[in-house]
Amino acid sequence: MASVSKRRLAAAAQQFAGVAFTLFGLLVVTFIIGRVIPIDPVLAVVGDRASPETYAAAKVAMGLDRSLAIQFGLYLQGIFSGDFGTSVVTTRPVVDDIVRYFPATMELATVAIMIGIALGVPAGVLAASRRGRWPDHLVRVVSLLGYSTPAFWLAMIVLLVFYANLGWAAGPGRIDVYYEDIVAPVTGLLLFDAALDGEWAILGNALSHLALPALVLGSFSVAYIARMTRSLMVEQLGQEYVLAARAKGMSEARVVWRHALANAAVPLVTVVALSYGALLEGSVLTETVFAWPGLGSYMTNSLLNADMNAVLGSTLVIGVVFLGLNLIADLLYTLLDPRVS
Amino acid sequence: MRALFSNPVAAVGIVIVGILVLAALFAPWLAPYDPLGQNLDSRLMAAGGGHPLGTDELGRDILSRMLWGARTTLLIIVLVTVTAAPLGFVLGCLAGMLGGWADIALMRLTDIFLAFPRLILALALAAALGAGLENAVLAIAVTAWPVYARVARAETLSIRDSDFVAAARLQGASTWRIVRRQIMPMCVNSLVVRITLDMAGIVLTVAGFGFLGLGVPPSTPEWGAMIAAGREYLFDQWWVATVPGLAVVFVSLGFNLLGDGLRDVLDPRT
């Protein structure tokens, strides 16, 4: 037994080292993008009408008069002490901005992933159990369509149809203006905060605003989750225990939903974690269209204004979250599947 | 090739991609108007009346801009592919063949690139590089090659211990020669599948770049930029933004179908 736990420990240490290395790599990449690629990072900060004195002062302040290695050291020092620089657009520290905008993105992505699981898993199971017949083809075509649709365009179309024409949901933004800043931001997640305060009207309004962006983002995870569920289920349904269960006369529904799905569930957890990461990516362009005040809007806004500190700060945070999700997926996999050690 | 056409999914994909290529090649002859020709008297017109798909906010013919936009999209796809695919292909095959430190180094490097969501990394790179077609291509290619390297490496690992590779080595072939003559031809199939599926994603990325104004110069006909321009008139002249979006979906779907079908045909194991 001792050797097993030792091996597990060694595996965990190796995994940790891998993550630490990748994290370091993320920092190197953002450093290169921010400080090495731009021809003149100083100019980007002070603007082209700055006086030579201002320019020189900014250059020294940014540490650009020193060697690349020292610059990188200073960059690391800043990041680890929570200093991502100041945003040129908002004039606030980038860290403060991110803390402020991240909960909105998390709220959106979480509701979207719930939509993805609720619709994607049954669709995938259905496709696998009717393999080669019309439900299978339908799921395939719909998920390929999901893979092929630009998020920002779909966002515009649902706004056009469900907000402008049908009036079923609220328009852009996170909440109506007259409801703004009423509930205390305890968690930063508006749905939670409104419920905590018992402000049901606000909760309803927030849900109405959330519906369309969550639907757009959710449709992408439906496509991904349905496809992955299908292939995992196809694999399980070909196993001998399924044959055995059928042979002893178990109902097909029980075979599919209880036995096969239970075995497909472990890798499905990984799929869900990965698709949560993909939602962060999708949120960038979706949030812009819905004027959703999250990290995605923040990043695109900064992109348009060449606000590199903000762009790199958001890139780094999204990269780290992505990495964390992968790690969680791995850990859950080992926890849930007794065969993996 | 015949197998490809008998697979309905791939056949539809081929037709769609074929339409894209034809539209891009013959845009100057197919387009009824100059894609840049403004006519403020007939701005934001609905379909019909000499403009089959209507006109945009500067009175330019949407159909003509769509056809020329196919050129922009196809050009970027081709440029990204010829940049990223050979790089990923050679590095992946070499890493798989050499093993040891070379392999570990490459895998760690791809880990780092794959740790960013692709679009985010491409956007950050494009922001640093500045606007322009070459920079957009470079930003997208940088995010594309690690996937190809991974696929090529995985494929190499599965065949490097085969008898025919051992035979070539016994005959005194160098590693580089084995990679070129034995390994690469065996990796091509799965790489082609991967690249085709990837093209569907590149179509979306290009449109996203255009939507944010990061890609090609403003007046160039590009689908994403056309969608962005139509956003202002979405609730009144819906077609200005809707029509180019349909083109993006159509073409991206074409590559997805083709890739999916190719996988059925070329790579039946998965």
Q: How far is CA B97 from the centre of its chain?
A: 28
Q: State the sign of the Cα–Cα–Cα–Cα dihedral A218, A220, A221, A223.
A: positive
Number of neighbours of residue A238 by Cβ within 10 angstroms:
12
Number of neighbours of residue A290 by Cβ within 10 angstroms:
29
- Phi and psi at B61, nearest 5°, equal -70, 120
ipTM: 0.86
The span from the CA of A193 to the CA of A215, in Å, is 22
Contacts of A303 in chain B (CB under 8 A): 123, 126-127, 212, 214
Contacts of A325 in chain B (CB under 8 A): none
Tell me which residue in A33, A160, A300 faces B125 most closely, judged by beta carbons.
A33
| CA distance to partner chain B, nearest, from residue A145 (Å) | 6
In whole angstroms, how far apart are CA B96 and each of B90, B104, B106?
10, 10, 10
Look up residue A308 and give its two tokens.
């590199």
The span from the CA of B17 to the CA of A108, in Å, is 35
Q: Identify the residue among A147, A153, A284 best suited for mutation to test binding to B, counting B beta carbons within 10 A and taking the highest.
A: A153
The span from the CA of A66 to the CA of A75, in Å, is 12
Contacts of A308 in chain B (CB under 8 A): 127-128
Burial class (CB in 10 A: 0-12, 13-18, 19+), B209: buried
For chain A, give the mean pLDDT. 82
Q: Answer for the pair B54, B230: CB distance below 8 angstroms, yes or no.
A: no
Looking at chain B, which residue has its C-alpha nearest residue A295?
B120
Q: Which tens digit of pLDDT belongs to each residue from B65-90?
A: 888 888 889 999 999 999 999 999 99
| CA distance to partner chain B, nearest, from residue A290 (Å) | 12
Q: Which tens digit of pLDDT belongs to each residue from A182-216?
A: 676 767 777 777 777 777 777 777 888 888 999 99
Tell me which residue in A25, A34, A311 faces B112 most closely, judged by beta carbons.
A25
Look up residue A118 and give its two tokens.
């609720």
The span from the CA of A323 to the CA of B117, in Å, is 10
Look up residue A162 and give its two tokens.
């469900």
Q: Which tens digit of pLDDT belongs to each residue from B196-214?
A: 989 999 999 999 988 888 8
Please indicate whether, in this complex, the C-beta atoms of B127 and A303 are within 8 angstroms of each other: yes
Looking at chain A, which residue has its C-alpha nearest residue B105?
A21
Contacts of B259 in chain A (CB under 8 A): none
Q: List alpha helices for chain A, DSSP H.
A: 2-31, 41-46, 52-61, 68-80, 94-129, 134-148, 151-158, 190-197, 200-237, 240-247, 252-254, 261-290, 295-304, 308-336
Dihedral of the alpha carbons of B24, B26, B30, B35, in degrees to the nearest 10: 50
- Phi and psi at B55, nearest 5°, equal -130, 160
Looking at chain A, which residue has its C-alpha nearest residue B250?
A148
3-class secondary structure per residue, chain B: CHHHHHCHHHHHHHHHHHHHHHHHHCHHHHCCCCCCCCCHHHCCCCCECCECCCECCCCCEHHHHHHHHHHHHHHHHHHHHHHHHHHHHHHHHHHHHHCHHHHHHHHHHHHHHHCCCHHHHHHHHHHHHCCCHHHHHHHHHHHHHHHHHHHHHHHHHHHCCCHHHHHHHHCCCCHHHHHHHHHHHHHHHHHHHHHHHHHHHHHHHHHHHHHHCCCCCCCCCCHHHHHHHHHHHCCCCCHHHHHHHHHHHHHHHHHHHHHHHHHHHHCCCC
A295 has a chain B CB within 8 A of its CB: no
Q: Which tens digit of pLDDT belongs to each residue from A78-132?
A: 888 777 877 877 888 888 888 888 888 988 999 999 999 999 999 999 998 888 8
A325 has a chain B CB within 8 A of its CB: no
CA-wise closest residue to A283 among A101, A143, A117:
A101
Look up residue A335 and give its two tokens.
């926890």
Q: Given this model, what pLDDT does residue B74 score?
A: 92
Is the per-residue pLDDT at B253 higher than 90?
yes
Query: What is the DSSP-derived secondary structure letter of residue A177?
Result: G
Residues in chain B: 270
Contacts of B200 in chain A (CB under 8 A): 147-148
- Phi and psi at A86, nearest 5°, equal -110, 140
In this prediction, residues A20-30 reach a mean pLDDT of: 86
Dihedral of the alpha carbons of A26, A31, A33, A36, in degrees to the nearest 10: -150
The span from the CA of A233 to the CA of B251, in Å, is 30
Q: What is residue A132's three-state secondary structure?
A: coil
Paired strand residues for B61: B55
The span from the CA of B61 to the CA of B65, in Å, is 6
In whole angstroms, how far apart are CA B190 and each of B77, B153, B194, B197, B265?
19, 11, 6, 11, 11
Number of neighbours of residue A60 by Cβ within 10 angstroms:
12
Q: Which tens digit of pLDDT belongs to each residue from B103-143?
A: 888 888 888 888 888 888 888 888 888 778 888 899 999 99
The structure tokens 């037994």 sit at A1
The span from the CA of A178 to the CA of A202, in Å, is 10
Contacts of B124 in chain A (CB under 8 A): 30, 33, 311-312, 315
| CA distance to partner chain A, nearest, from residue B116 (Å) | 5
Contacts of A217 in chain B (CB under 8 A): none
Looking at chain B, which residue has its C-alpha nearest residue A149?
B249
Contacts of A21 in chain B (CB under 8 A): 108, 111
Q: How confident is the model at residue A1 (pLDDT cuts 50, 70, 90)?
A: very low
Please indicate whether, in this complex, the C-beta atoms of A153 and B245 are within 8 angstroms of each other: yes
Amino acid at residue number B84? A
Contacts of A319 in chain B (CB under 8 A): 115-117, 120-121
- If you write DSSP's letter for every residue of A70-118 in order, what string do you get? HHHHHHHHHHHTT---B-TTT-SBHHHHHHHHHHHHHHHHHHHHHHHHH
Contacts of B10 in chain A (CB under 8 A): none
Is the per-residue pLDDT at A19 higher than 50?
yes
Amino acid at residue number A337? D
Please indicate whether, in this complex, the C-beta atoms of A285 and B118 are within 8 angstroms of each other: no
Among the residue ranges A41-45, B12-16, B145-149, the one predicted with the least confidence is A41-45
Contacts of B13 in chain A (CB under 8 A): none
Count A/B contacts: CB-CB distance under 8 Å: 138
For chain B, give the mean pLDDT. 84
Q: What percent of chain A has pLDDT over 90?
A: 11
A161 has a chain B CB within 8 A of its CB: no
Looking at chain A, which residue has its C-alpha nearest residue B199?
A148
A95 has a chain B CB within 8 A of its CB: no
Tell me which residue in A28, A148, A311 faces B127 most closely, judged by beta carbons.
A311
Q: How far is CA B43 from the centre of its chain?
A: 32
| CA distance to partner chain B, nearest, from residue A76 (Å) | 17
| CA distance to partner chain A, nearest, from residue B177 (Å) | 33
Q: Which tens digit of pLDDT belongs to each residue from A222-260?
A: 999 999 999 888 888 888 888 888 888 888 888 888 888
Of residues A277 and B69, the one with the higher pLDDT is: B69
A289 has a chain B CB within 8 A of its CB: yes
